[in-house]
Structure 1
Amino acid sequence: MSDETNILARYVADLAFADLPPEVVARAERLVLDFFGNIARGGADAESSASVRAMLARLGLDGPGACTVVGASRTYAPAIAALLNGVYGHSLDFDDTHAESSLHPSAPVVCAAFAAAEMTGASGRDFITAVIAGYEVCCRLGVALDPTVHYARGFHPTATAGTFGAAAAAGKLLGLDAERIACAFGVAASQAAGSLQFLVNGAWNKRYQVGAAAMNGLIAATLSAEGFKGASDAIEGKHGFLHGYSDGADPAKAVRDLGTVYETMKIGLKPYPSCRYTHAALDGLLSLRAEHHLTAADIVKVRVGLHPNGITLTGAPLAEKRRARTVVDGQFSMPFTAAVALDQGAFGWDDYDRLGDPVLDALCDRIDVEADPALEGRAHPFGALLTVTTTGGTFELDIPDPSGEPDLFPADAALAAKFTTLVKPVLGEKTPDLARSLLQSTDIANMAQAPASSERRRAAGISQRRRTNGPAAVLRCGATLSPAFSSTLPRGAKPAKTPFAAHMLQRQTIQPTRLFFHLCLFGINVVPYLR
């Protein structure tokens, strides 16, 4: 029998920050930043978020703890923080994707790692290393499953394979050795769950099951840390994850080129808050509209060719996809997202307010979505083939990859713009002076841990905004937030010149994940400081 479980466990246990190529670290930092923006907006705006919070309160699970939920005014127990961050961050369907595995790595991995990092007071190096370990595990397992077969059986790979990635990241931060990480995988095998049935009625299961993957991965790692015995051969065994969840699994793919080829570098970011299979078509339609000054009235017919996985998620049954009425329906509707793009030349989160718009319904009726065999043999499944018939002629476009994929990864300015778009409606305008003060401070340990008083928040220009459907957007930033924040520097000392991430990673006595979180939530463009 092959030994993928133990090979992956040894890889996670042995992975060291010093062994990671700089470009892999840089990519992981940017993925984390992007995902934090998703959490902040999802917690405030996603209609499912209030129900999850109410459930926790009713069951007595919302008590105080030591871990951060992005955008919330209070802390939670580690498992609940992982759950909420995961649910919130995946709710917009604006989070990153790994094409070959067809899953969203950050939602389960970052949330489990973030909670474990705060539990253990981990350094920035430890946090980033654990996140990368989690990315590698869940992406590789997703590839080994064969996502087409996994989808056909009704599974959601982000929630299934993601549980193992979450366990790997949390186990790394809890200091587990290879044997205990393999044990954590054994526990994760019993917790990996996620169904595609949500597609039938636009249900919120997809959001919750991904948050549950983060929580369950953290629980699996913690059980192992406490001596709990998990199943052996959990990944490749006869009744293990790969064979239990797929008819076409290839366990060898889970460890092929492990440590030399980084799946982390194959993770892309989303420019639109919808299923990734809609994005190549949206890129093409928006480009065509801009280049030829098209309006909705010019559109006679649109034919969108997608990979079969894309049809499963966004194109069938076509009549139902043309009449999306809930946000989840819209997120998984090629006709709706295409109609919005053609009608207004853009597509963003706020456009779900147009669900049921008669103008869009009429346009949806002119949009056909079909499986195109030409897309099945390609390296990546997210491409699209378009035939757009207008009153002025017919256009054909082949978009092999959507924007945001690794070869088209957004520049820092675009990443910062997306982050600001997500966070600004929740937190409002924040002073850039705060960013400079935070970056120049030498007393990061105290700043990262002490809560700010309301007076200090007001002095720093930080408002408290409450939304009727979201948590209070109050931030627990440092004890010295004031216009005179630079006075925390020793007399005569000059502000630190070290770039933020390097400073974060070099300081082993701080809680840099919390500082990074605070910077992100102020809507500050920290990307230029990441390297």
Structure 2
Amino acid sequence: MDIARQYAKYATNLDYNDLPEEVILHVKKAVLDIMGNDIGGYEWMESGPSIVDGIRAINRGHKGATVLATGESMAPEWASFANASMAHSLDYDNHHAKGVIHAGGSVVNCALAAAEENNSNGRELMVSVVIGYEIACRLAMALGPHSSHEMGFHPTGTCATFSGSAIIGRNRKMSEDEIVNAMGLNGSQAAGSMQYVVNGAWNKRTHPGINTHSSFIAATLAQSGFIGAAEVFEGKQGFLQGYALRPIPENATKTLGKSFETLENAIKPFPLCRYNHQTLDLVIDYQKENNIDTSRVSSINIDMPKYGVQLCGSPIEQKRNPQSPVDAQFSGCFAVALALTEQKADMTTFTGALDRGLSDEFKRLMSITDIQQADDLDEIHPEFWPGRVKMVIDGEEVELYGKHMRGERERPMAIEEVQDKFRDLSPKHDEKNRKEVFDVINNLENASIDDLLEPLRKTS
């Protein structure tokens, strides 16, 4: 049985009662996390209004699903485009380590739009989210660690195109054949170039939005009888061969239906690139315990896996002198200086440091920071995302090492922490409305999609 057929069977047959309590709790946190990012991407990032304004013009007044940041209604394919683009704009959306993918922005927002379109209840919403995570994350692992990145592709922009068709198919009660055909068409839609890294462009932010929109197109055409490509994943010119240097096809379906990759999607406590999180976690904890005067620090060395250095440590002079919020998100030098000077790194702290203008001491800390690749870290990456920070303080070296980051399955964030993150991301929203959302999330299995979204529609 080919991969697409196995995915279609999984999407049509998964039942809410198949989900362990651990999965249900994690899905609730993941949904709340992404909803917060949807709002935060609009309220905090300069690209947010341009995305919504542009999509509003294209949408031409059609309705059917909620844009969470503004409360307005757009056609499901365009509402999901707006929401998913906003969700990834902050680089604060949940992350799957082994697949090196931010699947949540696409998965959750496609599920929300499909649920509104079809009046699905909270249980069906959670099942849809699990279907999306299980497919997108397994596809990312099947591409092989970083072998798609090396070809210039962004798995966050490619893999969830397929999972979106499964989500929509589930909510529309499409047949297996229709879902298979939709995925066959997705093979011609999956996209996401990493050229954005050259100038900090906004392309990356729209990748989840583009793929959710593509999923709605593919699913609708398949329902109309459209025939998609066969063997879209494993074929000689299929997705895995075309988008990866070292694909591992067996990862696409291995343990599907037996274990849950959903649980491996870590909720991010910091709005910076995931490769900076060990640095932030380690140094914030150290500073909270020791509260050293940063002027006593004479040198800083950060060890990362190879791909962390490529994204957050090279070229080093550029990383020591970030010129934009995107530059700062992808700078290990900025991350360690923020951790030392602020002892926290939520959205308010991150943007506040940039808005105030970086102090001379902040700039000095960045200037004395070096970042290098470490073989021992690469040996266990990407199954783990380890990091090491060495600081010379008053002539004595302090070494900090971490293997598991906060937010991962081994160190999960509590639902209360995710609620605090939601508050931080939605400063213009009323606390009463926030609490209504929190209450519905906590009882999502007994709620309707309108129960969940109505508090946010009040913002329009």
Shift, 1:434, TM fit: 6.3
Cα deviation 1:285-331 (Å, max 9, x = unaligned): 11122222223212211111111121222111111111111111111
Give the partner amino acid of 1:157. Answer: P
1:340 aligns with 2:338: yes
1:387 aligns with 2:399: no
Which SS does the other structure have where 1:191 is aligned? coil
Give the partner amino acid of 2:445. Answer: A
1:285 aligns with 2:283: yes
Could you tell me which residue of structure 1 aligns to residue 443 of structure 2? 500
Could you tell me which residue of structure 1 aligns to residue 270 of structure 2? 272
Shift, 1:181, TM fit: 1.3
Contact 1:62/1:80 (<8 A) preserved: no
Match of 1:417 among 397, 415, 420: 420
Partners of 1:57 and 1:432 in 2: how far apart? 25
Shift, 1:435, TM fit: 7.6
Shift, 1:27, TM fit: 1.2
Which SS does the other structure have where 1:136 is aligned? helix
1:370 aligns with 2:372: yes
Stretches of structure 1 that go unaligned for 5 or more consecutive residues are: 440-497, 505-511, 524-531
Give the partner amino acid of 1:27. Answer: H
Could you tell me which residue of structure 2 aligns to residue 7 of structure 1? 6
Which SS does the other structure have where 1:303 is aligned? strand
Partners of 1:499 and 1:91 in 2: how far apart? 26
Match of 1:312 among 310, 313, 333: 310
State percent identity of aligned pairs.
Answer: 32
1:396 aligns with 2:403: no
Count matched residues.
454
Contact 2:70/2:457 (<8 A) preserved: no
Shift, 1:71, TM fit: 2.6
Partners of 1:348 and 1:128 in 2: how far apart? 27
Shift, 1:96, TM fit: 0.4
Partners of 1:190 and 1:218 in 2: how far apart? 14
Match of 1:93 among 91, 94, 97: 91
Aligned counterparts, 1:207-286, within 5 A:
207-286=205-284
Could you tell me which residue of structure 1 aligns to residue 79 of structure 2? 81
Could you tell me which residue of structure 1 aligns to residue 298 of structure 2? 300
Which SS does the other structure have where 1:397 is aligned? strand
Higher RCO structure, 1 or 2 (CA under 8 Å, sep 6+): 2
Shift, 1:152, TM fit: 1.3
* Rg comparison, structure with higher value: 1
Could you tell me which residue of structure 1 aligns to residue 26 of structure 2? 27
Could you tell me which residue of structure 2 aligns to residue 55 of structure 1? 54
Partners of 2:55 and 2:434 in 1: how far apart? 36
TM-score by length of structure 2 reads 0.93
Shift, 1:33, TM fit: 0.8
- RMSD of the TM alignment (CA)? 2.2
Shift, 1:78, TM fit: 0.9
Which SS does the other structure have where 1:398 is aligned? strand
Cα deviation 1:375-395 (Å, max 9, x = unaligned): 112162421012111125211
Cα deviation 1:177-233 (Å, max 9, x = unaligned): 222111111111111111111111111011012211121122222221222111111
Cα deviation 1:350-380 (Å, max 9, x = unaligned): 3234346242222111111111111112162
User: Could you say if the C-alpha distance between residues 103 and 80 of structure 1 is closer, same or farther in structure 2, counting changes exceeding 3 Å?
Assistant: same
User: Could you say if the C-alpha distance between residues 87 and 98 of structure 1 is closer, same or farther in structure 2, counting changes exceeding 3 Å?
Assistant: same
Query: In terms of mean alpha carbon deviation, does 285-294 or 268-277 score higher?
Result: 285-294
User: Could you say if the C-alpha distance between residues 376 and 515 of structure 1 is closer, same or farther in structure 2, counting changes exceeding 3 Å?
Assistant: same
Shift, 1:397, TM fit: 1.6
Which SS does the other structure have where 1:63 is aligned? coil
TM-score by length of structure 1 reads 0.81
Stretches of structure 2 that go unaligned for 5 or more consecutive residues are: none
Shift, 1:159, TM fit: 0.6
Query: In terms of mean alpha carbon deviation, does 317-326 or 77-86 score higher?
Result: 317-326
